[in-house]
A and B are shown apart, each in its own frame.
Chain A
Amino acid sequence: MNSPNLAVSLRGISRRFGWFWALRDVDLDVPPGTSLLLAGPNGAGKTTLLRILAGVLAPSRGEGRLAGAGLNDNDGIRRRSALLTTRGYLYDELTALENLRFVSLMCGSDTSPATSAGILDRVGLASVADRRVGAFSSGMRKRLALGALLMRPVPVVMMDEPFASLDDHGRALVDDIVEEMLAAGQTVFLASHQIGDSLRLIGRVAFIDRGRLAFTCAADELSERRYAYFEDRE
């Protein structure tokens, strides 16, 4: 039975695309205010799991809850979670400020220009606030997508490959933001196949391989457990 006191509680979550099972029988409990790294090779099922947790993909099987909302309550889940994706979902013809304004209008968060300007300053884009996003580099787009994530104070925040395209300052920015989120009591999921990037921020790791949850462990045990897992697998 899923506990209502957990940030995320999953039982037997599976997802099929045609005949291909992208996820199989994932059980996972994540306490509130903690961080979890979803690790695993490309195509392991990390993004599929995040999309299910964000309420944009329904599981084919299984049940679960996110911050008190059932996984079948799409709108309830979306109101309690935010997902940073690799796509960004930014409009090239709008300026950085207008993109944030659109997000705030759609979500009902603070729509004041001062708030948006403050967030752009936080992600290092204050000087290009009025520039159209079509002229942004991929790193600047990632920063703006991170800013859009900050527009919504939600219990569960998920970031899919948050370090991709970012320079050293950008990676440090993600670290700082995750630390602030954890300090504020938010639960943070990071999905990355570049494990070294994320390890400093992480309490626990869930290692996914070929759609199955292979093991969970403390962050400092990851290298050892991963080595043992692949030894056994081969």
Chain B
Amino acid sequence: MSSRTREIWKPVAPAETGSGRREFLRRTRAIVWKDLLIEVRTKQSFTAMAFFAALVLFIFSFAMGADVRLLQATGGGLVWIGIAFTGILSLSRTYQSEELAGGLEGLRLLPGEQRAIYVGKLLGNLALLLTLELFLFPTAAILFQLELWRVALPLAGVALLGTLGFSIIGTFYAALAVHVRARELMLPLLLFPALVPVLLGAVNATTLILTGDPDGAMSSWIRLLVAFDVIFFVVCTWIFPLVLEE
């Protein structure tokens, strides 16, 4: 037996291709790199999301009129409606590149920790949504006469926690819905009930940041968001391989 033959027939254990954490990080990085590169080149998701988000905010702005106090009181909720609606557009395209390439089986054929695929897809969605919010919040500030720059830091924290929770659940449900025929219909139907806690926390925390928090209720909403993110990240990451396998 030649040395090359021996090399090929050597049993390949996970440890030999970069055990545990290293393999996980390498595969996660590969998914994020590939997805963002495709998005940068096609701009399909971002263009659709930005257009839709702007449309939602403009319509709400026209509907609410010029009552500044009303706009400020409802501004937080309106922004999160925009994020939720446009987020669905992004999530429904989470596995689009795989479907165009022939299906999720292509990813399953590549050996290694499958949870890295979920985390990579999640980070890609998170990056896309956070980039959208960089455009969404200033637009809302102009339309709803919100003084966001004064509360930029806490608002960024709430936006990050809320968007993370949205992406955690959304990326998981998008994988569940890949094989469903009426996916565009089924994904929101499945997703929104599961998103109630994170939307509740994000809307209330944002509103308290914008209107003031005399009763100190903010911390309980932040705790809800953190708990939601941690629990669902662990659960979704853990059971993702069951969703990916046929």
Q: Residues of A with Cβ closer than 8 Å to B?
A: 32-33, 51, 54-58, 67-68, 74-75, 78-80, 82-83, 85, 87-94, 98, 102-103, 105-109, 153-155, 184-186
Contact = CB atoms under 8 A, between A and B. Distances in A.
Interface stretch (B36-44, B46-54, B62-70, B188-196): B36-44
A105 B38 contact: no
A75 B111 contact: yes
A68 B109 contact: no
Given A56-B109, A80-B12, A106 B30 contact: yes
Give the residue among A54, A56, A91, A108 with the most B Cβ atoms within 10 A. A108
Interface residues of B, number: 41
A83 B27 CA distance: 19
Contacts of B11: 67-68, 80
Given A78-B110, A154-B12, A89 B246 contact: no
B134 interface: no
Contact of A89 (B8, B18, B33, B101): B101
Give the residue among A68, A89, A185 with the most B Cβ atoms within 10 A. A89
Give the residue among B37, B107, B108, B110 with the most A Cβ atoms within 10 A. B110
B245 to A, nearest CB: 7
B37 A108 contact: no
A185 B100 CA distance: 35
Give the residue among B12, B100, B112 with the most A Cβ atoms within 10 A. B12
Contacts of B17: 79, 107-109
Contacts of B14: 75, 79
Interface of B is mostly: helix
B75 to A, nearest CB: 37
B111 A32 contact: no
B97 A91 contact: yes
B1 interface: yes
B30 A105 contact: yes
Nearest to B27: A106
Contacts of A67: 9, 11
Contacts of A74: 245
A155 B8 contact: yes
A83 B110 CA distance: 10
